[in-house]
Structure 1
C-alpha cells in the first residue's frame, strides 16, 4: 500500500520579518508617518486585544493599508526575543516581528509588499537589521535603501540559491521565499559544469509566474514561461531540510 506523506500546514500567524534593534522601541505614529510619506497613506495601526499581563510594548497591532493588512509586534517578550537571538546569532537588545495570516491569490503579492515596506521603514527608523524568514536573508539599512518598493517585484521577495545536493554529479538550484506566498519552493538539478545564469533566470521567471497564478503546480503539470519562450514539467514533490530548515519543494525539468 502506498503511504501518503503529510506535509505540515502553515501556522495561522506566519512570521515574515524579524527586526533586531537597540534603540528605544519606535512609536507607531512615527512608523505611520514614515510609511505615508514614502508610499502614500493612510496606514492605520489598530491595537489587538491582548491578555492583561502583556506589556504595552509587546502588544500586537493590525496594520492596514487599503484592503491589505499584516500584523506587527514592536517588541517581543524576553523569552521570544531570546529564541530569535539564538536562532539568528544576534546581539540586538530588542526584536520586533511582522507577520501575516492566510493569503489568497488575489491579495498575496500586495500583502507581502505591505509587509516588506513596513519592515523596511522599521529597520531604517531603528538602524537595525531585518531578517526575511522565508528567503533566509539579512537586510541592513543599506540593503533596504537599494530596493525600490514602490511596486511589487518578485526578485525583492524571492531569491534563487545554489547549494550542495544529495547527488554529487549535479548542481542543486532552488528558490527561497515562495513559501511566504503560501507556495512550495521550486528546485532544479543541473549536471556539473554548465552555466548557472540560465537556471537562475528560469527559476526567477517561474517564481513570478507561480505568484501570478497563486497556486503550486501538480506533479506532471507543464508550465509555460512566456518571457523565456520555454516550458518546464513538474516531476517530483518532496521535502528537504538544508541547514535544519524544512523546505517543501517541487522539482522541475525543462522541456526540450
Structure 2
C-alpha cells in the first residue's frame, strides 16, 4: 500500500489573517529569516512541520505564527476565484492562539511576516478581516515597537443598509479577539464624526484588552467625551459573521 503525504492546510484553530498571492517560487524560510532580522533587529526562529517544506512556524520571543506557502490548490481554488488578483499561487499566515493579553503582539508578528513574504515574492497580501489588498509598495515600514491602529483596523461607512441612517463600523478588532464597534448616525452628517468616535473607541478596547458589556461607560479622552455601549449584536457585512458593540452617541 502506498502511503500518500498529506497536503499542508491551515488549521481550523488558526484561521488565516493574511493570504499571500504570488507567482513562481515561494521565498525560502532562510530568506524570510534574514529579511525579518534585518528589518526588525531581533532573532526569528523558524521550525518546519515534520515532513513538510511548505508548512512552518515562525517564533519571535513568546509569540508565534504559522505559515503555509503554497497552499494546495484543492483547498483554495474557490477562494482564488473570489480574490481580485491574477496570481497563480497562494499562501497563508495565521497567528497562533494566545491569551487576549498577547494577541496584539502575535497579530503584529503575523503582519510582519506577511510584509516580508510580500516583499520577497513581489506578490500581494490580502487582509482577510479588513478585505484590504496590500502590494509591496503599500506596506509602511514600522519599527519593532510601533503600533498604529490604522495598519490593522479600517472604518467603513454604509449608507444603503437603512433609509435614514448611515451605518459606520470597524473591521479589524476581531483580529485581536475583540468585538467590532459600530454607530448609526443620521444621513447628512459628516462621516468624519463617526470615524473619530469609532477609531478612538477601537483604541480604548485594544488598550483594555476586552469587549465592554452593554451599558458600560467608555471614556474617550482624545475627544473629551464619554460614551456608552448601547447594544450587542452579530452581523456579516464582509461575508463573515462578527460581533458588534453599538456606541450610544447621545
Give the TM-score, by structure 2 length.
0.90
Aligned 1:124-135 pairs, distance under 5 A: 124-135=119-130
Instruction: Sort the Cα spacing of 1:100 and 1:67 in 2 relative to 1 into closer, same or farther, 3 A.
Output: same
Count of residues in correspondence between the two structures: 238
> Paired residue for 1:119?
114
Could you tell me which residue of structure 2 aligns to residue 212 of structure 1?
207
The answer on 1:67 being equivalent to 2:68 is: no
- Contact kept in structure 2, 1:20 and 1:93, CA below 8 Å: yes
1:37 is the counterpart of 2:38: yes
Shift of 1:79: 1.1
The C-alpha deviation readout for 1:187-219, integer Å capped at 9, x for no partner, is 000001111112111111111111111111111
TM-score normalized with structure 1 length: 0.88
User: For the residues of structure 1 that align with 2:203 and 2:238, how far apart are their CA atoms?
Assistant: 26
Distance 2:239 2:17 in 1: 18
Q: Pick from 118, 138, 159: which aligns with 1:143?
A: 138
1:7 is aligned to none
Find the aligned partners of 2:229 and 2:133 in 1 and give their Cα distance: 30
Rounded Cα–Cα distance in structure 2 between residues aligned with 1:176 and 1:82: 25
User: 2-side partners of 1:224 and 1:189: how far apart?
Assistant: 19
Does the 8 Å CA contact 1:103/1:181 hold for their aligned counterparts?
Answer: no
Deviation at 1:181, TM superposition (A): 0.3
What's the RMSD between the two structures over aligned residues? 1.6
- Matched with 1:230 is 225
Point out where structure 2 has 5 or more consecutive residues left out of the alignment. 1-11
Q: Output aligned runs, 1:1-256, within 5 Å.
A: 12-49=13-50, 56-58=52-54, 60-144=55-139, 146-148=140-142, 150=144, 151-255=146-250
Cα offset, 1:62, TM superposition: 1.4
Give the drift of 1:250: 1.1
